[in-house]
Every structure is written in structure tokens, then in C-alpha cells.
Amino acid sequence: MEDIKQIEALIEKYYNGETSVEEERKLQWFFQTQHVPERLKPEAEMFRYYYLRKNDESAGNLNEKLGDLIDKQSHKNVLFGSARSFYWISGVAASVLILVGLWLGFNTNIFNNRQAYQDTFNDPQLAYLETKRILYLVSDKLNEGTRNLQNLDKLDYGVNMLNPVFSFGPGIQHLNKLSKFNEATELISKKNN
């Protein structure tokens, strides 16, 4: 009985976070035995779980996992640094390439190799007549496209003829006011009778 009171005091200290490692081992050892009172069964299950869990994960395994994580993180840092320098170097190389291309273009007169326009007609009167013929052809093609639009004029004429019909709407609203006046006069005449 004295042992159980001491265990209960240790459990209270455990929940308050005041136990030492030795006291926690004492609690684990107690709960590994089969003589656990009924009221301490939930704590027994908890400490058994912690005991089994502790045996599953050893300290060496934890150190190994931490080492792997550190290696992965340092590898990421190395890759990120090299990627950043790669982008910087490729940007500089592209700029240099553009500058070299522009310099070569202006120095080799690629842009200045324009041919002078030459007259295709020796007779100015003939050139005038040919230009006039081409402009008439363009005008005729444009007029062909606008002939179909003449039907739209007919439609527009019909819509304009319907405008008086659209003005009935406001007139009808005024008539509604007149019907309310008629209702009022009917009410007055009923009261007078």
C-alpha cells in the first residue's frame, strides 16, 4: 500500500513535469508488473506504450535520421546556390551575345543593304493610266462589298416606322393614373349613395 501511494505521488509529479529520469524509470518498471490496481490501469497503458515506443526507436536510429536530414538540407543549399549562379551566368552570356550580334549587324551593313527603287515604266503617262486602272479596280471591289448593306437601309426604315408604336408605353402609364382617378370617383359615388 505504501508503494502505491508513492507511485501515485510520482504520477502526480510526472503530470506536472517535475520527475527525474530515474523516477520515470521507476514508474515504467512498476507498470510493467502485473499487480497494477484498477484505478491506475489508464496510466499503466500509457507507460507501456511509451516503453514499447522507446524500444522501437533507438538513439542511434534518431542520430542516423538527423544526419540524413542535415545531409539533404546541405545538398539542397548547394543545388540552390549553383542554380542561382547558373542563371546569373546565362543572363550575362545572353547579353554579350546580343551585343555582339548588334555590333556585327551594324558593322557589316546588313541593315543598310537596301536597293533603290527603280521606275517600272519609262513613260509617265502610261504609269498614270496603270495607277488609275488599279485604283478603279480597288474601288469596284469595295463597292461590291457595300451593295449588300443597302438591305440594311430598308431594315432601318422599318424600325423608324415603328417609333410611334414605342411611344405608346409612356402614354399607357398616363392612362393607368386615369384609371386610379376613375376608381376614386367610383368610391366617392358609392359613399354618397
Residue given cell 507501456 in the structure block:
48
Residues 75-98: tens digit of each pLDDT: 665 555 667 788 888 899 999 999
pTM: 0.29
Confidence of residue 116 (pLDDT cuts 50, 70, 90): low
* Alpha-carbon distance values, 80 to 39, 87, 93, 156 (Å): 57, 11, 20, 69
CA distance 58 to 187: 100
Cβ density class 81-100: b for 16+ within 10 Å, e for less: eeeeeeeeeeeeeeeeeeee
CA distance 140 to 120: 25
Residue given cell 523516477 in the structure block:
23
133: pLDDT strictly greater than 90: yes
